Amino acid sequence: MIPYGKHYIDEDDIQAVVETLKSNSLTQGPTINLFEEAVAKYVGVKYAVCVSSGTAALHLAYLAGGLNSGESIVTAPITFVSTANAARFCGADVIFCDVDSSNINLDPNSLQKILVDNSNIRIISPVHFGGLPCDMEPIKNLADKYGALVVEDAAHAFGASYKNGKKVGCCENSHMTIFSFHPVKSIAAGEGGMITTNDYSTYLKLLKLRSHGINKIDESFINKIQAFDNNKINPWYYEMQELGFHYRNTDIQCSLALSQLNKIDKFIQRRRQLALNYDELFIKNKNINLIQTTGRLDSSNHIYVLRINFKEFGISRREFMNSLKSKGIGSQVHYMPVYKHPYYSHFGYCDIDYPNSETYYNEAISIPLYYDLKDEEQFMVYDVITDTLKQS
C-alpha cells in the first residue's frame, strides 16, 4: 500500500531515542530545551516553547494572546478542526473567512470585510494550508488596523519560507506561530507541537500555561511568606498562580524530533521535487486542476492536492478513492470545511457564505506525498489516477 503520507525514521533517529531511554531524564529534562533552542535558531525567532501537540500549541497561543469568552477568532474553514476547537476551549466564537481559490489560504479581501463588520475579534489565525505560507503582510496590516493579534497556524508549514526568504515561524508578521510534529508532518516527534514568539512576556506566559500554571523561570512569587525564609528563597518552593494545563512534551519525543530536525533540509528538498514532478505530470490533464503551483519553492509541500470535477467524469469521490485503494494507493480529503461538522453546524454557519471553500471541498483529493516515496511509485500513482478517470 502506498499511503497518502507517512513518517521516515532512520537509525540515527532510533539511536537518539535509545540514548534518551538510557539517560536519567525521560521528561522535563535537557533534550526539550535543546529542541526548543534548535527550532528557534532554525526559524529565526527569539523563543520557542515545546508542547504535547499542535492542538495544545493553538490552545496555549490563544490563551496567551488573551482570548476570552465573548471574543472571536477568524480563521479559514479549510483546516483541521483544531484551529477552531482551540478557540472554543477558551469559550470564544469562531468566524470563518473564505479562502482564495488559487491557493486555499485565507483570503485577505474577505478578511477585511469580516473585520469591518465585527468589533470583538481578538485573534486572526491564518492557516498555511498544505505548507504554503499565507501572504502575511496584508493580514498583519489588517490585524494592526483593527486591533487584533495574529497567531499563525503553521501545523503544515515547518520548513517553509515566506517570499522574502525568512522561515515560517520567525513571527515577523505575527505575535505567535504554532507547529505540529505529528508523524505525517515535515519532521516527526510521534506527537508534539511548538509555539514561537519574539515577545518575552508571552514566552513566560506560555511556560506557565503548559505546566499547570506554574513557571519556575523569572517568576515573582505572590505568597512571599511561604516563598522566603529570612529573605532567601525556599529551595522546594513553587506556586500555581493561574489555572494551567499539563501540555508538556517528553525528552523521548524531543530526542526523536531533534534528530529529525538534522534532516529537515533533505526532507523539504525531496518533498519539493515530488510536488514539482506531480505538477509536470498532471498539468497535461485539462480535467484535473492543480493548486499552489506557483509556491512550490516556498512551501514545505506537506500534502499534494488534486481538484477533480468528479461529476464530469461520471464517478463519485467515494468510488474513485475506493478504486485507488483497491490498486494499492491511499488518498484522503484535506479538509471537510469545519463548519460542516455536526458540532459547528449548530452555530448557524451558511455554506453560501464560503463559495470558494465549498467548491474546493467538492473537488479535493490528496494523493501520496512523503519523503521516501520512490519515483517509480509516483509514476504508478499518476498512471492509476489517469487510467481510473479514463475508465469512468
Answer whether 81's CB lies under 8 Å from 338's CB. Answer: yes
Regions in the chain scoring below 50 on pLDDT: none
Quick one: pLDDT at residue 299? 98
pLDDT digit string, tens, across residues 116-175:
999 999 999 999 999 999 999 999 999 999 999 999 999 999 999 999 999 999 999 999
Please give the Cα distance from 268 to 299 (Å, whole number): 9
**Measured between alpha carbons, how far is 343 from 348 in angstroms, rounded to an integer?**
11
CB-based contact 254:17 (threshold 8 Å): no
Amino acid of residue 173: N
Q: What is the pLDDT of residue 320?
A: 98
Q: What is the DSSP string of 217-256?
A: SS---S-HHHHEETTEE-TT-----S---B---BHHHHHH
What distance in Å separates the CA atoms of residue 164 and residue 383, rounded to the nearest whole number? 37
Start-to-end Cα distance in the chain: 22
In degrees rounded to 5, what are phi and psi of residue 61? -65, -45
pLDDT, residue 220, reads 84
Fold of 11-261: Aspartate Aminotransferase; domain 2 (3.40.640)
Q: Collapse the DSSP code of 307 into the 3-class scheme (helix H, G, I; strand E, B; otherwise coil) and give the result.
A: strand
| Contact (Cβ atoms closer than 8 angstroms) between residue 381 and residue 318 | no
In this prediction, residue 218 carries a pLDDT of 66
Measure Cα distances from 253 to 35, 57, 190, 265, 350 in Å.
Answer: 10, 16, 6, 20, 41
What are 308's strand-pairing partners? 288
Contacts of residue 209, Cβ cutoff 8 Å, sequence gap at least 6: 60, 63, 64, 242, 244, 245, 247
Q: Give the gyration radius of the chain's Cα atoms.
A: 22
Classified as helix, coil or strand, 50 is strand
Q: Are strands 176-180 and 193-197 parallel, antiparallel or unpaired?
A: antiparallel
Which CATH superfamily includes the segment(s) 264-391? Aspartate Aminotransferase, domain 1 (3.90.1150.10)
Give the pLDDT score at 287. 86
Distance from the Cα of residue 309 to its chain's centroid: 28
Report DSSP state, residue 201.
Answer: H
Q: What is the pLDDT of residue 13?
A: 98
Domain positions in the chain are: 11-261, 264-391
Instruction: Evaluate whether 65 touches 147 at the Cβ level (below 8 Å).
Output: no
160's CB contacts (< 8 A; 6+ apart) are 128, 131, 132, 133, 154, 167, 168, 268, 298, 299, 300
- CA-based nearest residue to 82, from 288, 268, 333, 341: 341
Q: What is the pLDDT of residues 267-303, one digit of tens each?
A: 999 999 999 999 999 998 888 999 999 999 999 999 9
Instruction: Look up residue 203 and give its amino acid.
Output: Y
> Of all helices (H) and strands (E), which one includes residue 200?
helix 200-210
Residue 209: how many other CB atoms lie within 10 Å: 25
